[in-house]
Amino acid sequence: MEIKKRYRAFVLCCLVLDLLAALWLGYRYLDRKIPDEIHMYRGQEKQVEKVLNYPLVTVENAITVSSDGSYLLPLKLLGVVPFKEVKVLPGESTSVYVSGNTVGIYMETEGVMIIDTGEIMSEEGTKEEPARDIVKPGDYIVTFNQQEVRNKKDLIKDLTELKEQNVILGVVRDGENIPVSLTPVKDIEGKYRLGIWVRDDTQGIGTLTYVDKNGRFGALGHGISDMDTGSLLKVGQGRLYQAEILGIQKGTSGNPGELAGLIRYEPGKVIGSVSQNSEKGIYGIYYGSTSAVSLQKMEMAYKQELETGPASILCCVDGTVKEYEAEITKIDMNHEDSNKSFVIHITDPALLDITGGIVQGMSGSPVLQNGKLFGKFVGAVTHVFVQDAATGYGIFAETMLENEKNR
């Protein structure tokens, strides 16, 4: 009898846990599908209703927030349980010049980034590690004994001219300025060393997404992180260059491909300046000629205008920007990672034959729905699925432009 009671209690616990898990998964599903904010211009009221039209979700009367026309829509589950408040903001029809051109990106860090610490063979023949547990990978050295450090050249010069035994480094860590004290070690050549590995620049190939009417550009759709530390690089300054595709490593399952390109670091090849490296892309000023890259004026779509189904991307894999067929298979209106807001699958046989799908260097390729002539700019390609080279993630066009406005 006691065993039966325990068994029933166990079954009941399992059922309760299953119910809680189902409720949590249902909540997470609805939270991802229903955005926290919606931009809407006149005539889009039905689209808002469509976005909020889910089983078990009821919309309460709107609450006015401000005189600009924005308001809150309280949502409840089953008409009883408070779920979330969706802010509806007045929008406007926005057009940008979409590109799809491959570009070269060169960025200098804000200060000198520490990659790691290491040992030094001192002039006495002993192994020393003066920076261990004092600085961390991802720290940025911005001053050396109160003298500004802009790059590795500055740091080396300061060490060469060092006459004191102790050094005070001004370090930026997690946005906070921290002074740290280090005692450099003389190596077997009699030169002072700090025992740190550093980096002060990075470069690579990516895709220009758009240029707006004010000449500001957005590219990549995701940030550039340091390959060793994985942290987002803090940009001091950077430049955008024309680039030439030399070859393509085709993507296969388990092996993402890449565009192999040549960046010509010549004054005449500079087409823009980079001022921001963010999780949502890189941004700056485009000042190249209109013939330097492909630019076509298109209206931007707000996220609620996206639909699963046929789409296309603009990219340059053979020297010319072309439109290739694709399909949007999934949309997450409220994904915690904004550059994974929708899933896109390449269907164009020509692009699949050339690249295998999405490869490194195609990040930032504009995504369109309803084609170049009558369609809208809906987003940009950001990542490829490692196990499926034909499929990847995208960021909403709205998110990229909103990030630029909020700088």
Residue 60 lies in a domain: yes
Shared domain for 314 and 184, answered yes or no, is no
Shared domain for 214 and 155, answered yes or no, is no
Domain that holds residue 366: 95-106+201-405
Shared domain for 99 and 214, answered yes or no, is yes
Query: Is 222 noted as a catalytic residue in this protein?
Result: yes
Shared domain for 6 and 38, answered yes or no, is yes
Q: How many helices (H) and strands (E) does the chain have?
A: 6, 28
Q: Which one is catalytic: 99, 139, 158, 222? A: 222
344: tokens are 């896109």
Candidates 262, 208, 215, 211; CA nearest to 240 is 208
The pLDDT assigned to 399 comes to 93
Shared domain for 230 and 283, answered yes or no, is yes
Shared domain for 126 and 177, answered yes or no, is yes
End-to-end CA separation in angstroms for the chain:
69
Shared domain for 207 and 171, answered yes or no, is no
The one-letter amino acid at 160: T
| pTM reported for the whole predicted model | 0.85
Q: Which tens digit of pLDDT belongs to each residue from 302-346?
A: 988 899 999 999 999 988 999 999 999 999 988 788 899 999 999
The pLDDT assigned to 333 comes to 86
118: tokens are 């290491």
The one-letter amino acid at 318: D
Place of tokens 């296969």: 252
CATH number, residue 288: 2.40.10.120
The pLDDT assigned to 44 comes to 66
Please say which residue of 139, 168, 194 terminates a domain. 194
Query: Is 363 noted as a catalytic residue in this protein?
Result: yes
Candidates 111, 110, 128; CA nearest to 119 is 128
* Nearest-angstrom CA–CA distance, 106 and 362: 17
The pLDDT assigned to 37 comes to 82
314: tokens are 């603009």
Residue 111 lies in a domain: no
CATH number, residue 142: 2.30.42.10
Per DSSP, the three-state class of 305 is helix
Shared domain for 264 and 372, answered yes or no, is yes
Q: Which one is catalytic: 99, 341, 363, 365? A: 363
Contact between 406 and 390 (Cβ < 8 Å): no
Residue 380 lies in a domain: yes
> How many structural domains does the chain have?
3
Containing 283, the helix (H) or strand (E) segment is: strand 281-286
* Nearest-angstrom CA–CA distance, 129 and 196: 9
17: tokens are 């846990």
Shared domain for 74 and 48, answered yes or no, is yes
Query: Is 332 noted as a catalytic residue in this protein?
Result: no
* Nearest-angstrom CA–CA distance, 89 and 70: 4
* Nearest-angstrom CA–CA distance, 198 and 169: 14
The greatest distance separating any two alpha carbons of the chain, rounded to the nearest whole angstrom, comes to 88
Residue 227 lies in a domain: yes
The pLDDT assigned to 407 comes to 59
Shared domain for 255 and 144, answered yes or no, is no
The pLDDT assigned to 337 comes to 86
Residue 70 lies in a domain: yes
Residues of the chain with pLDDT under 70: 1, 42-45, 62, 64-67, 372-374, 404-407
Please say which residue of 150, 168, 194 terminates a domain. 194
The pLDDT assigned to 336 comes to 80
Q: Which one is catalytic: 116, 201, 348, 388? A: 348
Shared domain for 171 and 205, answered yes or no, is no
**What are the phi and psi torsion angles at 107 (to 5°)?**
-135, 135
The pLDDT assigned to 53 comes to 78
The pLDDT assigned to 27 comes to 72
Please say which residue of 177, 194, 211 terminates a domain. 194
The pLDDT assigned to 10 comes to 77
